[in-house]
Structure 1
């Protein structure tokens, strides 16, 4: 569990989150002896500008990797971050040792993240987007509580909800050209948390595993317990160890 050669992790968060999502997991990975970065990307964290594109987000992560002169990295994407690391892999493939998807979107060429949502959710998001003043989507609390943090107590769910902000809508609805991604030979892993209901489970049309994961072709599979967001805060030691198992040679 504590290898002689430390791994270098770059952790990419998902929607309705910022880089602090990784704080506890990053601290545990560092305690294990690894090098960890969790860059923020446009439209999130302290950035007030919500008029961002998927390309702006992916290019900012690639620029971070280049500016820090990082090589041989384990690039981890959570949720929406899966689509980000797909595009980052196209931009800096020679710097990536392995891609790790943590209950993350794996889009097909020409798809958007919104294409992978159930019709009812996609239509609801469109309505929220259209009624917003800045082309953003704010999750209603009942949806957040029952699908993103379903293992948390009500008090924990309320606290986490108070810390999220509206999500830029455009990157979720952009169709992505992923032809190059599917030509790359970078090793891949998928970490699946079984109680994560942010997407409908047990369906051939939706869900994290096997619906998303099998698109990776040959991949390492790591399975554990957890929901979409609260487990990262409640059980960072276990998740850090699962990310190590997903990232190691």
Structure 2
């Protein structure tokens, strides 16, 4: 019996290792004010390892800024990604959400629960039923002081002739309270990025790591700023490959 248990454990470890190293399909959803362009380096690193990567830009942002409107809301962005999955006929995907993108991927997983193998939140909001991003983020409503005609235009949104750069985003994307049938997917994982590894509790997204642990998800920490796709792309890709 002991030998059988050892053999079974070895088979399981081998299977898990093979899964971790096997090529995967990643669908990456960027954060607020940004675009898919911000994930170009991560895309290149994952693709070089044999994976397939999709990094669409949400309506009204990045190269789709010409579609910007105060009518664009969270449901619009969920539909953006749902349609990528449907029209590209994607299955067994690793769905990745960064920052605000966590709100989007939760809605996507709720709409298409059978299409995702794993959902990875990177310094991201974990959505709740009928709660907006502003409801969930401590101090999030501070951004409302930068509202103009239904759009948020904070100081870090560059009015620049050089591209690419952040662009204004509709207030409705952060205030919509979207209903969820399954707000907490079972296959979630959480990566918390911390500037100071000695003081993770000072991080604005620390609260979500605690939520992830309460949900029984695997959690990871990466010493990086809020945008590891720029500051630590190689380290981030190593985590995503797990």
TM-score, with structure 2 as normaliser: 0.80
State the partner residue of 1:236: 233
State the partner residue of 1:74: 94
1:115 counterpart = 2:117: no
Larger RCO, structures 1/2 (Cα 8 Å, 6+ apart): 1
What's the CA shift string for 1:4-26, capped at 9, x where partnerless?
A: 63011000001011001110011
State the partner residue of 2:175: 173
Alignment of 1:179-218 (within 5 A): 179-182=181-184, 184-185=185-186, 187-195=187-195, 202=201, 207-214=206-213, 217-218=215-216
Where do 5+ consecutive residues of structure 2 fail to align? 1-16
Q: Is the 8 A contact 1:12 1:39 kept in 2?
A: yes
2:201 counterpart SS class: coil
Quote the Cα distance in structure 1 between the aligned partners of 2:112 and 2:37.
24
State the partner residue of 2:82: 62
TM-score, with structure 1 as normaliser: 0.78
1:219 counterpart = 2:221: no
1:46 counterpart = 2:63: yes
Instruction: Tell me the CA shift for residue 63 of structure 1.
Output: 0.8
1:74 counterpart SS class: strand
Aligned alpha-carbon RMSD (Å): 2.9
Quote the Cα distance in structure 1 between the aligned partners of 2:73 and 2:39.
23
Number of equivalenced pairs: 218
What's the CA shift string for 1:59-99, capped at 9, x where partnerless?
A: 11011111001100000000000010000001111111010
2:123 counterpart SS class: strand
Q: Given the superposition, is the C-alpha separation of residues 209 and 181 from structure 1 closer, same or farther in structure 2, using an over 3 Å criterion?
A: closer
Instruction: Tell me the CA shift for residue 206 of structure 1.
Output: 6.1
Q: Is the 8 A contact 1:205 1:211 kept in 2?
A: no
Quote the Cα distance in structure 2 between the aligned partners of 1:159 and 1:118.
33
Between stretches 1-10 and 101-110, larger displacement belongs to 1-10
Q: Is the 8 A contact 2:120 2:191 kept in 1?
A: yes
1:139 counterpart = 2:154: yes
State the partner residue of 2:26: 9
State the partner residue of 1:126: 144
Quote the Cα distance in structure 2 between the aligned partners of 1:188 and 1:244.
15
Quote the Cα distance in structure 2 between the aligned partners of 1:160 and 1:201.
34
